[in-house]
Chain A
Amino acid sequence: QVQLKESGPGLVQPSETLSLTCTVSGFSLTSYGVNWVRQPPGKGLEWMGTIWNDGSTDYNSALKSRLSISRDTSKSQVFLKMNSLQTEDTAIYLCAREEGSSGFFFDYWGQGVMVTVSS
């Protein structure tokens, strides 16, 4: 069955770089896009960016200068790197699969990983 699972450090120092991995199973990254979405504690959802099935990327312009999304199709993994982290980047980071045929929405989500930015 389709699964996505995020992994990465729970604590990052201010000004440092965040590196997260989304490991997927049950589908191919060459058939579906995978997105990163974040949610500050108790708040709403913010779309960060996507890596499409062809490997191209799109980013939220608010984060574009700090954000990079890439993948390793042989390992079924999608990577997020974001630099210059600040306390306001503290959030649950989720990866989600784009549904792919009817529109740009998400039919499967990972459980999320909590990232705290603090010294």
Chain B
Amino acid sequence: DIQMTQSPASLSASLGETVTIECRASEDIYNGLAWYQQKPGKSPQLLIYNANSLHTGVPSRFSGSGSGTQYSLKINSLQSEDVASYFCQQYYNYPPLTFGSGTKLEIK
């Protein structure tokens, strides 16, 4: 099984800042990576797929990058509505699909 190591576990940043969340895979996943946002009490929402493709309707301040085993999600100009948990998910090699452990983002 491919293990996904996500960091940091929690993050506090000011409005307008840029934040970066990272995921490291235990082996090369060839850009088979998605990012999700989960607001409190809600189900996850797709942000990014194929490591760097923005899902329909997602604000352009979200972006994904990376290759091989290292991937990142960047949020520019942090907004109050970005308070959420963020999860990465690999889909290069399955079953099983595997998720990162999540990053909880708060506003300072």
Taking Cβ atoms with an 8 Å cutoff, the residues of A that contact B are 35, 44-47, 49-50, 58-62, 94, 96, 99, 102-107, 109-112
Contacts and interface: CB of A to CB of B under 8 A. Distances in A.
Contact of B97 (A47, A62, A111, A112): A47
B102 A102 contact: no
A106 to B, nearest CB: 6
A112 B43 contact: yes
Contacts, number: 64
Interface string B6-39: 0000000000000000000000000010101000
Describe B's contact surface by its main secondary structure. Answer: loop
Interface of B: 1, 32, 34, 36, 42-46, 49-50, 53, 55, 87, 89, 91, 94-102
Contact of B87 (A44, A58, A60, A62): A44
Given A102-B53, A105-B46, A60 B34 contact: no
Contacts of B32: 103-104
Contact of B34 (A46, A61, A105): A105
A50 B96 CA distance: 10
